[in-house]
Amino acid sequence: MKKILTLICCTIVLAATSCKKEYVSTSPSATTIFDTTPAFVLDNSSNPGSIHGYTTTLAVPEITDYYNNHGAVLVYLDDNGTYEQLPDVYDGISYRFVYTKGTLYIDAQNADGSVPTAAPPALKLKIVLVP
């Protein structure tokens, strides 16, 4: 009986000492606030890729190839101190975003897919880059 207990204890000690600790360090996310967006421009052409709505372009040099390949870009719309993540429908207008290296595009159209009668107001945005 002692031999069996000794064998079990040795197995447990051997298993516990063979574990390898691994530390993964990540860099924190970066946040950028835009107090106002550039004016929206009507994109209602019959060209392929037209959104049939309004679009605006923001220069965000923090968006690098790294975020295209490995990270994530999150965009939030500020509604009087409350942030809602895009895509979102706000006041009957559907907002979405697309990004490429250094540029963020925000599109707006009516929730039913039609062109809004007027350009959306300037937006306050929060952009979060997650590594």
Q: 30-83 pLDDT, tens per residue?
A: 888 888 888 899 887 666 666 778 999 999 999 998 888 888 999 999 888 889
What is the model's pLDDT at position 105?
Answer: 92
Q: Is residue 10 part of a domain?
A: no
Q: Which residue has the tokens 């295209």?
A: 68
pLDDT range class, residue 117, cuts 50, 70, 90 = confident
Q: Is residue 99 part of a domain?
A: yes
- Rounded to two decimals, the pTM is 0.72
The domain total for the chain is 1
Average the pLDDT over 88-111 and give the result: 91
Can you give the residue range of the structural domain that contains 106?
29-130
Q: Which residue has the tokens 């064998």?
A: 7
What is the model's pLDDT at position 69?
Answer: 87
Distance CA 107, CA 43 (A): 9
Q: Is residue 2 part of a domain?
A: no
Q: Is residue 90 part of a domain?
A: yes
Closest CA to 103 of 67, 54, 49: 67
pLDDT range class, residue 17, cuts 50, 70, 90 = low
Q: Is residue 14 part of a domain?
A: no
Q: Is residue 61 part of a domain?
A: yes
- Whether 104 has a pLDDT exceeding 80, the answer reads yes
Distance CA 88, CA 83 (A): 11
Average the pLDDT over 112-116 and give the result: 83
Q: Is residue 77 part of a domain?
A: yes
Q: For residue range 69-90, what is the model confidence (pLDDT) as tens digits?
A: 888 999 999 888 889 999 999 8
Q: Is residue 1 part of a domain?
A: no
